[in-house]
Chain A
Amino acid sequence: MTHLELDSVKKVFGDPEKEGVVAVNDLDIDVPDGDFLVLLGPSGCGKTTTLRMIGGLEDPTEGEVRFDGTVVNDVKARNRDVAMVFQDFALYPHMTVRENLGFGLRRENNDMTDAEINERVTEVAEMLEIEELLNNKPAQLSGGQKQRVALGRAIIREPRLFLFDEPLANLDAKLRKTMRTEIDELQSEVGITSAYVTHNQEEAMTIADKIAILDDGELQQLGTPDQVFNEPANLFVAQFVGSPDMNLFEGALSERTDSYRIEMDVASFDIPKRLVDTEIDTQDVLVGFRPQDLYQARTRATDGPDFETQVRVVEPVGTEAIVHGTSALGDVTAKVGRFHDLEPDDQMELTIAPEHIYLFDPTTESLLKGRLVTERAEGGASADSVEA
């Protein structure tokens, strides 16, 4: 039960006076009690360093790490009462599962007797359904079982904070999804504030209360999964979150009475001003279409642009397909239904609703207009109301 704060935290590896490597720069993150924070970003963005600073395995060069308002910079890792799950699980190979689980309890000044520790170990093992493995050594366990033991070792102490360092990266795809759900359930159940590092945006979106997206040691955005998806602070966030990648095109913008007119190579369209929160005063814009927001014009009509695309590849994913095509605007990726009659070299007309279009400033790369959920676009042709 801890309110975690990072205040202007900076980490420089090597000599800060000389040419040290800045791993994390001026990071401010506030995680309310019981929240699940995910640190998301590409390799080398500083997310793991941030996690290790929270755990006390690295010391911040500048700034403060606070638990419930108390600065813990000088508190040693072993005294922070924080539990961490490592990517490679880091189970003690010479100890049985029972000893692995009990190790942390035995290190605390908790006056627990051997019998009490054993009871607690059994309780946690039952919760994670590993009670029949208690006398095995880690080498005898499968990946998923090791993962459960690693989780058990974290929750058994009822710590102030859970830290997860890419805990699912070493598991196969199917197990990753089950364990993801289990971690999520477990965290909600015990209600312990958690920080979780991953480079997998899908994992981050499904598990997080708040996502902190980092790039090159800098915080790009801190927000809910919905916020980072629909209102990405900048182009980096927009491209990092969401799969397949967002389509980006150049466009020219001109202001009209109650709308902005966007002119692209083969399509022009208006975006009503009521859909835009900010005043736009640039001439050029970057226009972003999420593949999921593109529809075939034959199945759905919108107020947005229509454009011809020549199909290159159709990748079926169940009820929908990811279609890669070439248009006058450039390469386009769309996720569409009714794909069974589509063949390479076919012409397909794609369209997108103005609510769903992202606009970015091409020089600052910051967001001008995000994706609106349909409720806000009252009146006019709502994108979701005319499904054919």
Chain B
Amino acid sequence: MSYVDQAQSSYRNVTRYIPESLRVYLPILPVMALVGLFILYPIAQAIYSSFFTKSLLRPSEAEFVGLANYVEIWTDPDIHQVLWNTFVWVTVGSLAAIVLGFLMGWLLNEKLPYTSVASAIVLIPWVLPRVVGASIWQFMFGGSQGIVNELLVQLGVIDEYIVMLGATEYSLWPPIIGMIWRLAPLFALLTLTSLQGIDEHLYEAARMDGATPWEQFRYITIPMMKYNLAIGFLLMLIYNVRNFSMVWVMTKGGPGVSSSTLPVMIYRAAFIDFEVGFASALSVLLFVVLLVFSYYYIKFYDKVRGEM
């Protein structure tokens, strides 16, 4: 009797009294336990907390308030500004990252000199630690010594240095620009790999069929890439919605809430104002938004795999 046979036999002995329908879950039990502990439990805890007023200063005095925290979200004086900021982040930031990233990916796919070196360099923003990248941008946008001010003066756009990170009318944009810088390379890489996945013969067949370069792009490239691009688009949305570090390092969401997004507001509520219940309600809101995006992400991902 081999070790394998012995193992199988003792497994059968141990599991003899467990019904067949449950026995199949035994091998994935460890993974399910981990998922439950690190993913499901925190989510459940957040949802549970969102029904209580609970302060970190006096955690034992939690009081059940039903949906009051959710009502408070809509009456909060800052929420409209924060939601609008988040919306601008997600739309402008994602679209700009997509357009830039697509162009970069396209260029990297061309048979130009040094493209392999270039594709490694392009990835630097993505692999750099987030706080490091954000600090660099904070420095560049600085009001007295920043290179952005200097450039704008040199170009004649402005006459003298202006305060950007500390001015309510500008503070939203520097972190968005930093985030575009960070995300565009990721989209470039996605573009590059899906372009490289298209069989060169399809372009040759299209050329023989009389297709112009634009028609090749329109009828071969775009349809062949569409699900990959959709996945990339959703990734951009997800990364932008949940981004925290770029804003926090550069502006801390201020001045006021002029550059705050939802994650920043959650952080402030939980760890500055210590209102865990309110922060949890906000988190649930963010969770629902991300859930919708993730649903489509998985759907497109399955489509890509289905077409392969």
Give chain A's interface residues, CB within 8 Å of chain B. Answer: 55-57, 76-79, 81-84, 86, 88, 90-95, 103-104, 107-108, 139, 153, 157, 163
Contacts and interface: CB of A to CB of B under 8 A. Distances in A.
Contacts, number: 65
Contacts of B207: 56-57, 76-78
B79 interface: no
- Residue from A55, A77, A91, A139 whose CB has the most chain B CB atoms within 10 Å: A77
A108 B210 contact: yes
Interface string B185-221: 0000000000000010110111111111001000110
B160 interface: no
B255 to A, nearest CB: 50
B223 interface: yes
Across the A-B interface, give the 3 residue pairs with the lowest CB-CB distance, nearest first: A107-B210, A104-B209, A90-B201
B206 to A, nearest CB: 7
Contact of A78 (B212, B219, B307): B212
A93 B210 contact: no
Contacts of A79: 210
A78 B203 CA distance: 11
5 contacts: A83-B208, A92-B206, A93-B224, A139-B307, A163-B208
A162 B209 CA distance: 12
Nearest to A84: B208
- Residue from B205, B211, B224 whose CB has the most chain A CB atoms within 10 Å: B205
Contacts of B223: 94-95
A88 B208 contact: no
Contacts of A76: 207
Contacts of B220: 92
B208 A82 contact: yes
Given A86-B204, A88-B201, 13 more contacts: A77-B207, A83-B208, A86-B201, A90-B205, A92-B205, A92-B206, A94-B307, A103-B209, A103-B211, A103-B219, A104-B209, A107-B209, A107-B210
Contacts of B219: 92, 103
B277 to A, nearest CB: 50
A77 B213 CA distance: 11
- Residue from B207, B220, B223 whose CB has the most chain A CB atoms within 10 Å: B207
B211 A57 contact: no
Nearest to B202: A90
Contacts of B215: 107
Contacts of A107: 209-212, 215
Nearest to A108: B210
A84 B212 contact: no
Given A86-B201, A86-B204, A90-B199, A78 B224 contact: no
Nearest to A81: B210
Contacts of B202: 90, 92-93
Interface in B273-308: 307
Contacts of A56: 207
B108 to A, nearest CB: 23
A96 to B, nearest CB: 12
Nearest to A76: B207
Contacts of A77: 204, 207-208
A108 B201 CA distance: 20
A56 B207 CA distance: 9
- Residue from B199, B208, B219, B220 whose CB has the most chain A CB atoms within 10 Å: B208
Contacts of A139: 307
Contacts of B199: 88, 90
A50 to B, nearest CB: 15
Interface in B40-83: none
B204 A57 contact: yes
A24 B101 CA distance: 40
A124 B252 CA distance: 67
Nearest to B222: A94
Contacts of A57: 204, 207-208
Nearest to B205: A90
A57 B307 CA distance: 28
B208 to A, nearest CB: 4
Contacts of A86: 201, 204-205
Contacts of B208: 55, 57, 77-78, 82-84, 104, 163
A103 B206 CA distance: 8
Given A86-B201, A86-B204, A93 B307 contact: yes
Contacts of A103: 206, 209, 211, 219
Contacts of A92: 202, 205-206, 219-220
Contacts of B307: 93-94, 139
Interface in B217-240: 219-220, 223-224
Contacts of A55: 208
Contacts of B206: 92, 103
- Residue from B205, B210, B307 whose CB has the most chain A CB atoms within 10 Å: B210
A57 B199 CA distance: 15
A160 B97 CA distance: 46
Contacts of B212: 78, 107
A86 B199 CA distance: 12
A56 B220 CA distance: 20
A231 B137 CA distance: 78
A279 B202 CA distance: 54
A153 B205 CA distance: 10
Given A94-B223, A94-B224, A107-B215, A84 B204 contact: yes
A94 B215 CA distance: 15
B290 to A, nearest CB: 30
Contacts of A82: 208
B211 to A, nearest CB: 5
A157 B307 CA distance: 29
B209 A153 contact: yes
